[in-house]
A and B are shown apart, each in its own frame.
Chain A
Amino acid sequence: MTRRGRGGSEERWSEILGVLTRESEYDRRLDMLLELVSRASGLPSAHVYLLDEGGGRFHLQRSRLPAGVHGVETGGAPEGGAGSVSPGPPLELSRTAADESERTVDTPAGRLRSVPLGLDGDLIGLLQLGPVEDDLPRRARQALEPIRFPLALALHRARDEHALRQRLDSALARIDVARRLEGSALDLDRFVSLLLELALRSTGTEAGFVATVDPHGGPLAIRSQRGFPEGVAEQLDLSPEAGFFDWAPAGEGGALVLHDLETAARLGIRSLLAVPLADGDRPLGVFALVNFGQARTFEAGSLELLETYAGQIKLMLRNARLFEDFTGEYLQTIKSLARSLDARRALTRGHHERMADVAEGIARALALPEEEVDAIRTAALVHDVGLAGVVEAEAYIADVEHPMVGASLVEHLPLHPWVSSAVGTHHEWFDGWGFPQGLKGEEIPLGGRVLAAAELLVELATGDAVHGPMPRDRIAAELEARSGSQLDPRVAAATMQALPGLPLYTTTEEGEG
């Protein structure tokens, strides 16, 4: 039996805050708190809203409905058993001055008493209880008064912890992203390093390095080195301007020799044998063995081993280069496929390019690093490619599944992982009502949230068969209206900031509508 008076109040405090220690999952915590409120007040419906970061809107966090009633809006139907289906409470509410005070409100879920929840004089959310006629029943009021503050405190802490967990998950995801980004390069480096070590051991050589040519025109640079005295490898400048090596062009046989004898002597190098690594006419790199002490004979057996290791390293470098070339060509094909989809209808002509420009503008407004801006742009250029090859009879399925199909077309390429994740999630909604996975909030990768905003803007600015292009001021109003539901509020705010400069229209469209 619940104790009354001061003792009962303390027990409620303990029970409410105890939820935070007994349960760690956010939704489950809120369910337990609502159950507690419902039990104490004797009112079967309880809904909790919390203010968003901007302080302008309340978002429904959890609902507790009378037994046997399924709320169709919240999707929170209890398991098992048939029950009546009634509209649930609204998913979000605009904040008004009236929310500062307790009042009775008529909602799709019935007549409820709206109780403000505050901390340190600031409104943080609303607790809506019902059904009521005009005011709370006496028992409910007596039960509610002493628990309003601990309830607000518990909800506030639960949300803060939830946000922290999401940030932690996001940080862990970023670490995973970095690992994936470095994965292929690391494998190559590990293999080259292993071969280098084997070559040094089997030829009895003191030190060695593998240098590679940057396929995008950069200079020859050491990729892996072993056995050098401290600081020596760093002083080896292998750029053509430095002239340490003389590497004849492929037309002259691609011969490689050590040219700068003075530098070699200054670094204490006694002997150095460098083998050029080339794929036909394309230089790939240099494999070099170095001795500092007694010059050792590179006898026939050692030279055979050296040639074998050089051949294996060349193969690795060539395969890495081939895969990079393949990726570039494959991506071009995917982009062309996406462009060909746009060309089918007048309204979608240039859609992918426009999406890329708009998405890039939003990504820059979010001050994302350059590689993430590039990844978002690439994702935008191919985001609807999953619609390719769809026959009319399967159009609905394709429409739902095209983000995942598109993501699968690019996910195994050595691209920034944001590319495939953004393509796969560009139709998800921030409130969880998008498709195909129904992801919610920060479960949706940021790239996908940016593409979602870009797609909305481009579609509104393009118009459809019935409506002409929507002017910028009305698009701004749409952005505001969809912030927090369809769009991530942070992305929506950045989009709003970038909106005046975003290339939404062709020259003939601007100002129409």
Chain B
Amino acid sequence: MNVSTEERGGAKVVRLEGALDVAAALELRDLLATVLEPGAKVLLDLAAVSLIDSSGVGILVTAHRLADARGAAIVLAAPPGPVGRVFELTRTNRLLRIFPTVEEGLAALAA
């Protein structure tokens, strides 16, 4: 999985590309632990995620809990159709903050 990070509108935008499987989830866990510092605003851009499984969804749920615990904020944006279906099938769509586009996600973080 490729990961790139940029600052946009006061938020860190983390762009994920490729499969978010067990190996990628282990890498992402360390990255998110670093970027989710107290007060941070983080957007995960999922537009280029080709696959997500229960380990990938698990790390996203963990990131939301970590953000709540640290007083940070995290949103997910632009999940492709199959990725969105996985959130529904695992019933995590109600635990995660998901927006259809990066812009909508950034707007929510800025509010």
Picked from B50, B53, B59, B94, the residue with its CB within 8 Å of the CB of A255 is B94
Q: Show 27 A/B contacts (Cβ-Cβ < 8 Å), sorted by A.
A: A245-B54, A248-B95, A253-B92, A253-B95, A255-B61, A255-B91, A256-B90, A257-B55, A258-B55, A261-B29, A261-B58, A262-B26, A264-B22, A265-B26, A269-B22, A270-B22, A270-B23, A271-B19, A273-B54, A273-B86, A273-B90, A274-B54, A275-B90, A298-B82, A300-B85, A303-B85, A307-B85
Bitwise interface map of B from 38 to 67 toward A, beta carbon under 8 Å scored 1, else 0: 000000000000111111011101100000
Is the CB of A100 closer than 8 A to any CB of chain B? no
Q: Which residues of B contact A288 (CB under 8 A)?
A: 54
Per CB-CB distance, the 3 closest pairs between chain A and chain B, nearest first, are A257-B58, A258-B54, A253-B94
The verdict on A255 contacting B90 (CB below 8 Å), with A273-B53, A273-B54, A298-B53 known, is yes
Closest B residue to A269 by beta carbon equals: B22
Is the CB of A481 closer than 8 A to any CB of chain B? no
Q: How many Å lie between the Cα of A253 and that of B19 in the bound state?
A: 26
User: Which residues of A are in contact with B by a Cβ distance under 8 Å?
Assistant: 245-246, 248, 252-259, 261-262, 264-265, 269-276, 288, 295-300, 303-304, 306-307, 310
Q: Which residues of A contact B50 (CB under 8 A)?
A: 297
Q: Which residues of B contact A297 (CB under 8 A)?
A: 19, 50-51, 82
Is the CB of B21 closer than 8 A to any CB of chain A? yes
Is the CB of B25 closer than 8 A to any CB of chain A? yes
Q: How many Å lie between the Cα of A319 and that of B61 in the bound state?
A: 32
Q: How many Å lie between the Cα of A310 and that of B23 in the bound state?
A: 26
Picked from B22, B61, B94, the residue with its CB within 8 Å of the CB of A261 is B22
Q: Which residues of A contact B69 (CB under 8 A)?
A: none
How many chain-B residues does the 8 Å CB contact rule pick out? 28
Q: Which residues of A contact B82 (CB under 8 A)?
A: 297-300, 303
- Nearest-Cβ distance from residue B22 to partner chain A, whole angstroms: 5
Closest B residue to A310 by beta carbon equals: B89
Q: Which residues of A contact B55 (CB under 8 A)?
A: 257-258, 261, 264, 271-272
Are A246 and B58 in contact, with the CB atoms below 8 A? yes
